[in-house]
Every structure is written in structure tokens, then in C-alpha cells.
Structure 1
Amino acid sequence: MDEAISSAAKIPRLSSTITRRTCSLMGVQIVGTGSYVPSNVVTNLQLQDQCPGCDPDWIEQRTGIRERRIAGPDESTCDLSVAAAQKAMAQAGVYAKDVDLLVVGTFTPDYHCPSTACLVQDRLTLDAPAFDISAACSGFMYAVTTAAQYVATGNSKLALVIGADCNSRIVNQTDRTIAPLFGDGAGAVLLAPGTMEQGFKSYQLAADGSGCAMLDRPAGGAKRPVDVAALEAGEHFLRMDGRNVFKWAVRTVAESIEVVLESAQMTIHDISLLVLHQANQRIIDAVATKLGISPDRIFNNVHKYGNTSAASIPLVLDEANSLGMIERGDTILMCGFGAGLTWGTSLFVW
């Protein structure tokens, strides 16, 4: 049985059309944003020294990434999360006693057990339930829409949602096909009840597990614990079929955006700000071409941070918010996509 499952997983079914199922959830607002990245900057030139074959110009041309932030030996996903959360709380002018729910999106938890959310809850001294959501680079989208359910139903007055990952811990830093792509960081938002004109006008969460082998980490779980053989084979590191992930991402992101726009009876030109997962500038540009919009309409910071997985979207949100680019009533398009395969797309009315 296991062999059959393993063999089938290597042949992605990847439906030619994505789901058209969407949801709506109004009455929720974002009242604060915050972010944090490690102080350690690793440029493409510096990466060349530790990763043979990494040409700085080639990296920038193929990915748009010029540098990334790497967590220090004394920093973890919890540490990044706490720092981002504190900034969001300070911006919103709220205190630990006000937060009654914590959801952390991450696929690089400090431990398999306990959850990173519990560690963050303790550090922030929150009186709140806390749990992780694992959806890789879609982690923030899964986490924020989950927390929004509690807020919209009156079961949370102030929810803290964090997207955070220490990708450097699971990436082989000598592998030139994957090491240049990833960085570490965290972003946070605070959700509170809003008017019925605020919230998720339309959103879609989806998954296609038939593509799991396109982006995975074979060893480290219950099925394949890390042992000497796994370490020697490098199976505890992240693997990616870059070419096929690229093609899947461009098609899926563009189609998912079109589906949520149609559901909301809007067009791409009605959007105030486009926030896409910062995986690769070429993916972002290809999606813009498919949607028929100028790439400069999409707020990007991938050149500074690389792919920060679940932190990617809240990092962009906080940067755009800090620059005064978001106003009350604006419709923000957010889309995360990654391992699973998973994706989450939303039209959020600020």
C-alpha cells in the first residue's frame, strides 16, 4: 500500500482546471500590521562564496533576488514571530491582554511538538488559544482566513495572525538550485470585527496533493524519520522541481485570481493593491502578463528578502501599509501558493 501511494505521488495529476469554489466573509478588518526580518543580510555575491556555481548576475536575472535575510544561530521561527507581533500590536495600540486568539502559519516550526504558536503565546503572555497551520507558502492565507472565521462569528474580538518561516534551516546552502531562492522573516496582522463593507469579499483556499512531490522535504516526519541514511542523502532538506513548480504557479495563480474576481463581479482594474507571494520575480511578471496588467501594479520586495514562505504576504502588507499605500475602503488582492500543493487567493476590503 505504502509503495503504491509513494509511486503515485511521483506522478502529479494536476487538474487542467482549478476549482471554482469561492467563499465570502465580511465584517472583519485588519487593525494593525507588523513585520520583522533578521539583521543578517546575505547578498548574491556573498552567497557565491558558500554555494559553488551561484553566479550573482544569473540569480538576479532568473529570480529578481539580490539579497535575503538569514536568521542567526540564536534566532528561530518563534523569535521572528514575536518580533513581528510586537510591532503589529504597537502599531495598533493594543496590549497582550486584548488578544484572544493566535494563529501562526509556518512550515518551519521550532519543534514538531509543541507548536510554535504556543511558544509565541508564552513569550507574549497572551490569554488565548494558540495553534499552527502548515500550508507552506500559502500558510498566511490559510491562517488569516481561519482566524477571520472566529472574528466574524463573534468568537474572537482581536485575533493575532502571524506568517513566519526560517527557511534557511531546511535549505541546503550549498545547493545552487534552491539556496539562492529562500530567506527568513515574519509578518503579522491583527484582525478585529469590522463593518459589513469590510473583510473578504471573495476568497478561495484550495489544494492539489497529487503535486506533493514537486516541492517537499522527504525526511523529518513520521513516515521517514531523520536517520543517518537520510542525512547522508540530504533528504532532510527541501527539494523542488523548479521548472514544473514555475509552470504550475503561473497558471494556478492567474486562474485563481480570475475566479475570485468573477465571484466578486470585479475586474483586475478595480483592485487597489496586488500582493502576491514573493517566490520569484519571473513568476510575478508572468502572472501580470496573463492578467493583462503592468508588473508595476504589483507591490514587490522579493529583491530584498527572497522567498520567505508564509512570511511573504504579511511582509509586503506591512511594508505597503507603512508607506501609506493602503486606505480605508481599498480592495487588496492577496495570493499565496506553494508546497502541498496549496494556494489561497482573496479580495480583502480594508
Structure 2
Amino acid sequence: MMKVGFETIVRHIPEEVLTKEHFNYLQPALAKLPPFLQEQFSIVPEEVRKYKGHEGDRAELMAIAVAKEAMERSGLKATDIDFILGAAGSLHKELGFDLDTPMMNIADCCASFLDACQIAWNLVSSGTAKRVLIVASAALAGGKNGGTTDLTDPIAPIFGDGAAAAIVSSQNLKCEFLSYYCETDGRAYRSARGDIRPLENPELAEIAGMPEGLGPYFSMNDISYIHIASKKDYLGDSLEKTFAKTEEKLKISDLDMVITHHLGDCEASWIQDLVDRGLPAETFRNLRLKTGNTGHTDLPMDLLEFVEEGLIKKGSIVALWVPGSGISLASLLLRWLA
């Protein structure tokens, strides 16, 4: 069977650093929340990053920059790419793609990058495309030209900007895809959503540097999404299903690392789930308390961080796992080859 995976994968770490102390102005707003929300939103990352560069839409600018880097790093030209997933139309123009290179946006919240990997895998393995460019970019740090984070809302310190790009092919692979699994749990479709609403605490708009308007802004007054994602066996059961789909009949005991999406304070239950299945606690990894939630970009960004740190080595079996809003869960199993 043809091996398909990442030929190239790169990330963009924004320049501006916002420490958790930057958000101290939100303390009065946090104090007004019910105790269960105060507990959830009091655990924030040490810092988040925010794009600081050209004037304009931050997500679009980061997408263009990281896609260019992926192309340059791989030594490819626009004519070498057969399909693009997950990018704005402006990227198609800025990178010089022609009309014969189609582009599709993937709008599945935080699961979008992994879903794009599955689509790219199918395109390459079917012979429809030789190379597929995936672009993931999220401007969640809020403010001018940013995304859907209300900087007067106590959830603001959780979110940051980030971007990543990957070229999926069957050539010169850094890793190979082993299996993909997804499921949808519609019970929490109203949780962790974007609403057209005014600012949560308009009296904080000036100190937050937040333009006043009607959003859409994240609303997480309903955190049933987090409760479902952190329930017993949620991580382990979906990983077992991911392993069951491998051609090699791998088992969860073969797992070297699982990198999870930066979702709330769920780590304790996820780690216990792995330990209960006989895996070391250090199998679990993510950088939530270092970089915050960067939407569908945090998995590829974390993956590269752990490769650079030497925690992922040649032959490592790694699962990328995300319970996206909805809940739309995706899990991608890969073997690192570089």
C-alpha cells in the first residue's frame, strides 16, 4: 500500500507575547462568574502569542506567510501543488496558483486540520493529486483584525494566534499516516460556539483594546462540551478505535505519544485514562499551559515542538487527537520517519 504523509510541515509562531499578567484587568469579570466557570477559566496559559506584522486580517496574513515557508522549505513551485485545503482565496493569488489548482476550505472548528489531513490522504492515495497543501491559521487572540475572542470576557486569556502548513504526498516523507478516525456527538452542539452578541463586559472595552460591536464572539457559558470530552474513557476509547483501523493491526500499547488539542482543564482525566490502559503518564503531551488554545493549529504546532525537543524520534508512533466543538472528534495516527 502506498505510504502517504507529511512531506513538509512548518509552523508560524507569532512575535508578540501576551503574558497571563496582561489579562489581570479581567479579574473583576471573572469574580462575577458562577464557581464552576471561575474554576475552569482561572487555569490559564503562561502566555499566548499574537500576530504582529502587516496591517490586515491576521489569520489571512499568517496563512500566506506559513504557506510560503512550506513551499520554500520543500523547494516546490506553485505548479507542483495539485490541491489546497483550508486557506483563504487570497492565498491562491499571493502564491501564484493557477485556475487548475482547486482550493477547499475546511470549517470544522478545531478538528479542521486533522480532517484536512484525511481528505489530503484520500486525494493522494487515490491518485487524484500528487501533492496537497494544507494551511491552518487562527487569529484567536482577539482585538483588531482578529478572530472571535471577546477580550472583555474572562475566557480571553485562553486563546492565542498561530499557524501551520503541511504538504501531504507520497514522496520524501517525514512521517506516514497510519489511520484516521472521526465521530460526532451532537449533544454539545450549543456549547463553545460563536454568538452575535455585544461585548460581555463593555466597561472593560477601552482597557482591553477591544473594538465595540456585535461579534460574533465565543460563548462558553455552557461548558457541557468540556464535560463530555473529559469524561472517563473518552480519549482512550477513541484511540482504541483509531488503532483498530490500522493496516498493521497496531494496538494502543504501541503508542509512544498522544498530542491533544488545548481544550480546557481536561488533562487529569485524559492522563488517568491512558494510565488505566497500561500506558505511562508521559505518553500524554500538549502545550496548553505554554501557548494556549490556537484552534486547529495547536496540534501541528505542538508536533513540531516535540520533534525539535527530541521527544519524537524516528519510528515513534504518535496520535494527534482533537475533540472539536460540536463535538466533532478526530484522531490521526502517524509514524515519524525523519
Q: Classify the secondary structure of the residue corresponding to 2:105.
A: strand
C-alpha RMSD of the superposition: 3.0
Which residue number in structure 2 is paired with residue 330 of structure 1?
A: 316
Paired residue for 2:153, among 150, 175, 184?
A: 175
Q: Structure 1 residue 272: deviation in Å?
A: 2.9
| Distance verdict in 2 for CA 1:186–1:232, change over 3 Å | closer
Which residue number in structure 1 is paired with residue 325 of structure 2?
A: 339
Q: Structure 1 residue 261: deviation in Å?
A: 2.5
Which residue number in structure 2 is paired with residue 43 of structure 1?
A: 19
Distance (Å, rounded) in 1 between the aligned partners of 2:39 and 2:17: 16
Distance (Å, rounded) in 2 between the aligned partners of 1:272 and 1:134: 30
Distance (Å, rounded) in 1 between the aligned partners of 2:39 and 2:9: 31
Q: Structure 1 residue 216: deviation in Å?
A: 1.3
Q: How does 1:131-210 map to 2 (within 5 A)?
A: 131-167=104-140, 168=142, 169-176=147-154, 178-193=155-170, 199-210=176-187
| Distance verdict in 2 for CA 1:233–1:160, change over 3 Å | closer
Q: Structure 1 residue 241: deviation in Å?
A: 4.3
Which residue number in structure 2 is paired with residue 119 of structure 1?
A: 90
Paired residue for 2:196, among 219, 237, 240?
A: 219
Distance (Å, rounded) in 1 between the aligned partners of 2:307 and 2:226: 29
1:18-55 per-residue CA deviation (whole Å, 9 max, x = no partner) reads: xxxxxxx9620211111113212111101113664469
Which residue number in structure 2 is paired with residue 271 of structure 1?
A: 255
Q: Which amino acid aligns with 1:149?
A: N
Distance (Å, rounded) in 2 between the aligned partners of 1:195 and 1:331: 18
Distance (Å, rounded) in 2 between the aligned partners of 1:207 and 1:71: 32
When the two structures are aligned, how many residues end up with a matched partner?
Answer: 300
Q: Structure 1 residue 140: deviation in Å?
A: 0.6
Paired residue for 1:84, among 52, 66, 70?
A: 66
Distance (Å, rounded) in 2 between the aligned partners of 1:89 and 1:52: 46
Which residue number in structure 1 is paired with residue 266 of structure 2?
A: 283
Distance (Å, rounded) in 2 between the aligned partners of 1:42 and 1:302: 14
| Distance verdict in 2 for CA 1:234–1:341, change over 3 Å | farther
Do 1:103 and 1:143's aligned partners in 2 also have CA atoms closer than 8 Å?
Answer: yes
Q: Structure 1 residue 337: deviation in Å?
A: 1.6
Which residue number in structure 1 is paired with residue 304 of structure 2?
A: 318
Q: Classify the secondary structure of the residue corresponding to 2:300.
A: helix
Q: Which amino acid aligns with 1:339?
A: S
Do 1:151 and 1:158's aligned partners in 2 also have CA atoms closer than 8 Å?
Answer: yes
Distance (Å, rounded) in 1 between the aligned partners of 2:253 and 2:70: 30
Q: Structure 1 residue 299: deviation in Å?
A: 3.3
State TM-score, norm by structure 1.
Answer: 0.76
| Distance verdict in 2 for CA 1:205–1:236, change over 3 Å | same
| Distance verdict in 2 for CA 1:77–1:319, change over 3 Å | same
| Distance verdict in 2 for CA 1:49–1:241, change over 3 Å | closer
Q: Structure 1 residue 101: deviation in Å?
A: 1.3
Paired residue for 1:296, among 276, 282, 293?
A: 282
Do 2:150 and 2:218's aligned partners in 1 also have CA atoms closer than 8 Å?
Answer: yes
Q: Classify the secondary structure of the residue corresponding to 2:269.
A: helix
Q: Structure 1 residue 150: deviation in Å?
A: 0.6
Which residue number in structure 2 is paired with residue 107 of structure 1?
A: none
Q: Structure 1 residue 60: deviation in Å?
A: 10
Q: Structure 1 residue 298: deviation in Å?
A: 2.9
Distance (Å, rounded) in 1 between the aligned partners of 2:28 and 2:50: 18
Identity within the alignment, %:
23
1:127-174 per-residue CA deviation (whole Å, 9 max, x = no partner) reads: 421111001111111111111111111111111112221122211111
Paired residue for 1:238, among 208, 215, 218?
A: 218
Distance (Å, rounded) in 1 between the aligned partners of 2:2 and 2:118: 11
Which residue number in structure 2 is paired with residue 19 of structure 1?
A: none
Structure 2 residue runs without a partner (length 5+): 32-37, 198-210
Q: Structure 1 residue 184: deviation in Å?
A: 1.1
1:259-294 per-residue CA deviation (whole Å, 9 max, x = no partner) reads: 2134444333312332211223x3233212112144
Distance (Å, rounded) in 2 between the aligned partners of 1:194 and 1:294: 33
| Distance verdict in 2 for CA 1:266–1:242, change over 3 Å | farther
Distance (Å, rounded) in 1 between the aligned partners of 2:214 and 2:67: 34
Q: Structure 1 residue 84: deviation in Å?
A: 1.9
Q: Structure 1 residue 217: deviation in Å?
A: 1.3
Distance (Å, rounded) in 1 between the aligned partners of 2:75 and 2:309: 18
Distance (Å, rounded) in 1 between the aligned partners of 2:196 and 2:123: 34
1:90-110 per-residue CA deviation (whole Å, 9 max, x = no partner) reads: 333323332221101xxxxxx
Do 1:30 and 1:189's aligned partners in 2 also have CA atoms closer than 8 Å?
Answer: yes
Q: Classify the secondary structure of the residue corresponding to 2:14.
A: coil
